[in-house]
Amino acid sequence: MSAFRRFAPTLAIAAAAVLGINASRAAEPSYPARPVKVVVPSVAGGPIDTVSRLVSDRLGARLGTSFYIENKPGGNVQIGSNYVAKSDPDGYTLLTTSPAHVTNPLLYSKLPYDPLKDLTGVAMMARVPLLVVVNADLPVHSVQELVAWAKAHPNQVRYGTSGAGSTANLAAELFAMHAGIKLDHVPYKGAAAVLPDVLAGRVEMTVDTLQLLGPYVKSGKLRAIAFTGAKRVPALPNVPTLAESGYPDAVAMSWLAIVAPARTPQHVIDKLAQTTTEVLQEDKVRKRIAEYGMEADVMTPAQVNRYFDAESQRWSKVIKAGNIHVE
């Protein structure tokens, strides 16, 4: 029997398999073939929502269909995240998320989903340095003066944030660890609830986004001490960073990313990632994101997932050291 006859059945099976795969791919509708739902796990108007709408609008324009926002707030992003984690992995339901995506498993004893297993990274949209501000009457004008004041007045520097385990809470604790000071955390139900108390001096300090705190700094009602990022923010160019103030290990960024249900086809993930990269390279988009005090940031899906893992490990140490927990 010739070699060809011996291998002919195997070759036929292989050829059929290849043809079958190609036929299957040819039969797949071009993605996206219908509108795409983008779930925002927070209320309208916040940083995640604002950037999500900006990027979704441009994704829709580039891909020829609607990328529409559906807000599902609650549970420190749990409600929206759980909804997307349990959605069909077809690319038609996406989630935009924040550091709570990786810190929730460290803060809650039980979640209805596993963020790092049930969801997969698609793209980064922006990274967000936080702004450290104090009441305007506090005799503190720099990071060094804040550290000196905290050491001279132990247990008298209170800072408010949107809640225990929030990115602001973790960033403040990271700074306190490296500065060797004690800051008393006062958790509130939402970032906006902090403002009346820090403006009135009932708490001395808060940490949040430029989008929220910027107007109060510019009006002189609050005093900016530092940004938590690695470089200065153009909107407030005279405000230094923690790094240049002597605390490079205290650099902490919030971030906004797009994720999809696990098992979403790779070609869909890749198309979304590539188009998001193109959107983030648009001058108008980058300018708008910068106006919010954020930095447009491009990552591949693999880089996003590795970043999630690194963030989880980093914040795990801070949460344990600070004995941070959510009731």
Q: Which residues contact 274 (CB under 8 A, 6 or more apart)?
A: none
In the three-class reduction of DSSP (H, G, I as helix; E, B as strand; rest coil), residue 293 is classed as coil
Token pair in block for residue 3: 């070699």
pLDDT of amino acid 16 = 47
Any idea where the domains of the chain sit in the sequence?
36-127+255-321, 131-250
| Alpha carbon distance 274, 276 (integer Å) | 5
Beta bridge partners of 121: 259
pLDDT of amino acid 6 = 52
Q: How would DSSP label each residue in 203-268?
A: SSEEEE-HHHHHHHHHTTSEEEEEESSSS--TTSTTSPBTTTTT-GGG--EEEEEEEEETT--HHH
For domain 36-127+255-321, give its CATH number from 3.40.190.150, 3.60.15.10, 2.70.160.11, 3.40.630.10.
3.40.190.150
Cα 91 versus chain centre, distance:
20
pLDDT of amino acid 10 = 52
CA quadruple 128, 129, 130, 131: dihedral sign: negative
Q: What is the CATH number of domain 131-250?
A: 3.40.190.10
Among 231, 220, 209, 217, CA closest to 293: 209
User: Would you write out the chain's pLDDT as a tens digit for each of its 327 residues?
Assistant: 554 455 445 544 544 444 444 444 444 569 999 999 999 999 998 889 999 999 999 999 999 999 999 999 999 999 999 999 999 999 999 999 999 999 999 999 899 999 999 999 999 999 999 999 999 999 999 999 999 999 999 889 999 999 999 999 999 999 999 999 999 999 998 888 999 999 999 999 999 999 999 999 999 999 999 999 999 999 999 999 999 999 999 999 999 999 999 999 999 999 999 999 999 999 999 999 998 889 999 999 999 999 999 999 999 999 999 889 886
Token pair in block for residue 123: 């793209």
Show the CA angle centred on residue 276, arms to residues 62 and 260, nearest 5°.
110
* CB-CB contact of 94 with 37 (8 Å): yes
In the three-class reduction of DSSP (H, G, I as helix; E, B as strand; rest coil), residue 70 is classed as strand
Cα 19 versus chain centre, distance:
42
Beta bridge partners of 254: 128
In the three-class reduction of DSSP (H, G, I as helix; E, B as strand; rest coil), residue 82 is classed as helix
Residue owning tokens 């927070």: 42
In the three-class reduction of DSSP (H, G, I as helix; E, B as strand; rest coil), residue 126 is classed as strand
